[in-house]
Structure 1
Amino acid sequence: MVVPALPAGLTRRLVVWELVAVFAVSLGASGLRALVNFVGAVTAPAPLSSQRATVLGSFTPDRPWLDLAYHLVSIATGLAPVLLVAYLLVRSGESLRTIGVDASRPGSDLGRGLALAAAIGSTGLVFYLATVALGINKMVVASSLPDVWWAVPVQVLAAAENGILEEVLVAGFLLHRLAQLGVGRGRALVISSLLRGSYHLYQGAGGFLGNVIMGFVFGWLYQRWGRAMPLVVAHTAIDVGAFVGFALLAGRVSWLPGA
């Protein structure tokens, strides 16, 4: 990946403020909330491994159509920071294509993304089970949506939201802007990975560590490929497997905590 130059008219100060603004209204704020949640969890009387963290839950389980409306609005507004990033890139004479978010290589992006999802998803499940057994992570309830016709479509849409939001911001935009600031690749990887881990702290230390490792892998691949699209595919596939898989296994298996 070629180190990008700072576009004409875009100063280092402006880039720093761009990053502060984008993450203050998105995943950086989520990281702060997750930290407070983590402090509350580890200081609670109940051990961490006996607590639950619900990722995709119901807003109004007794009113399915209103519940669906809440989810669709939540997914749509959750992607707003991606629009902000798109605007900032265009303003600097770039675009989402600059960070490899486009449909120019569908076959390559899909193949790389699904292969990465298989590798990360399988090892991530083993890592999660180990951290719960060690008592350093909550039982994660990936999806607790009611048994309604729209449950799977919403799970897929929520997974796509996570994949697009996180990989466009934390892999593509952040690493691109850090490179333009002259931050070394290793240091940029540390920043990106710690940020990714921070907003998963609500799950416990295991969620934090697992996502820091995932952040290193995804960040390194972005630096190598110069494309965030395979990472969007991978992240979406991983979350689809987690949401839909958990819902299918809940109440049917004993080896999955929280199911």
Structure 2
Amino acid sequence: MSTSHGPTSPRSWLLPNRPDEPARITDPGKRRAIVVELIIVFAITLGMAGLQSLLSLLDALLRPESLDQQAVAINASQARLGLLDLLEQLLGVLRLFSWAALGVYLLWQGGIALRNVGFDNSRPGRDLAGGAGLAALIGIPGLGLYLVAHSLGLNLAVQPTTLDEAWWRAPVLVLSALGNAAAEEVLVVCYLLTRLRQLGATENRALWISAVLRGSYHLYQGFGGFVGNVVMGLVYGRVWQRTNRIHALIIGHALIDVVAFVGYALLRDQVGWLP
């Protein structure tokens, strides 16, 4: 595992500072149990989403239209009746928060102090500022990458929402953004990287596993969506490895999605530069 080079090293930002990290597990039985746990968790959550996303991309590539001539919606209507659609959307949000809760529970059940893996409410102002900074760092270049990838025919036209206008659309989109942020950052960063630390994976190897997993379940958007989310995963994962704090990551991710979901709903008929 990586070791510190001291506070003055120019490479220090690349290396973790983890005074309270969970101990590495050496018992073969416990190691097998963690591996099985990882397989089960991601087989029913974001790992399965990654496989489905890969199939979706393959289907898009096999169509006669190029990728840039196809569209995919993130938040789409699930029922014809408005009330039923609202309930379907809320169930989707509940599923996302349940995934996040599963990751938190398994870490806690495994004897890990949640405070030591990021669940620390002692610095809300700093977390909010850090989240806003991460949102700007990832969101603005990410939009540019998406537009370039789409113009090159490497990405589908991503529609953050196709929900019809209704009184509940904006609140549901905000809740969806929060659910996405909680599920992804808790499972793919906090939970996965903690378990990989316990298994003795190097920080860099664990970081790449996490980042590629994040990119995999965005493959349905195209190659630009994959690359952009791998980059996001590398940045967010390294921030967590350096700080062992998760709230700024959730805030940053939620801000990106709120702007994308609600902003698209408001602007999609007002501007011509959105695909």
Normalised to the residue count of structure 2, the TM-score between the two structures is 0.89
Among 9, 12, 37, the alignment partner of 2:56 is 37
- Offset of residue 7 of structure 1: 6.6
Amino acid of the structure 2 residue aligned with 1:36: L
Alignment of 1:1-259 (within 5 A): 1-2=17-18, 3-6=21-24, 11-60=30-79, 62-257=80-275
* 3-state SS of 1:140 partner: strand
Amino acid of the structure 1 residue aligned with 2:35: V
* 3-state SS of 2:154 partner: coil
Residues matched between the structures, number: 256
Quickly say closer, same or farther: Cα 1:64–1:102, change in 2 above 3 A: farther
| Distance across 2 between alignment mates of 1:17 and 1:98 | 23
Which contiguous aligned blocks of 4+ residues in structure 1 show a shift greater than 4 angstroms? 7-10
Amino acid of the structure 1 residue aligned with 2:239: L
Identity of aligned residues (%): 46
| Distance across 1 between alignment mates of 2:120 and 2:48 | 27
Amino acid of the structure 1 residue aligned with 2:128: L
| Distance across 2 between alignment mates of 1:8 and 1:39 | 40
| Distance across 1 between alignment mates of 2:25 and 2:204 | 23
Can you list the C-alpha shifts for 1:101-160, whole angstroms capped at 9, x where unaligned? Answer: 342321111110011101211111001000000100000000111111111000000000
| Distance across 2 between alignment mates of 1:31 and 1:163 | 16
| Distance across 1 between alignment mates of 2:214 and 2:238 | 14
- Offset of residue 87 of structure 1: 2.2
| Distance across 1 between alignment mates of 2:65 and 2:253 | 32
Answer whether contact 1:110 1:230 (CA < 8 A) is retained: yes
Answer whether contact 1:25 1:81 (CA < 8 A) is retained: no
Answer whether contact 2:45 2:99 (CA < 8 A) is retained: yes
Can you list the C-alpha shifts for 1:37-88, whole angstroms capped at 9, x where unaligned? Answer: 011111111100110010001112x411111111111111222222222221
Cα-Cα RMSD: 1.5
Answer whether contact 1:7 1:92 (CA < 8 A) is retained: no
Answer whether contact 1:101 1:168 (CA < 8 A) is retained: no
Normalised to the residue count of structure 1, the TM-score between the two structures is 0.95
- Offset of residue 17 of structure 1: 1.4
| Distance across 2 between alignment mates of 1:242 and 1:95 | 34
| Distance across 1 between alignment mates of 2:174 and 2:50 | 23
Structure 1 unaligned blocks of 5 or more: none
Quickly say closer, same or farther: Cα 1:95–1:86, change in 2 above 3 A: farther
* 3-state SS of 1:141 partner: strand
| Distance across 1 between alignment mates of 2:220 and 2:24 | 36
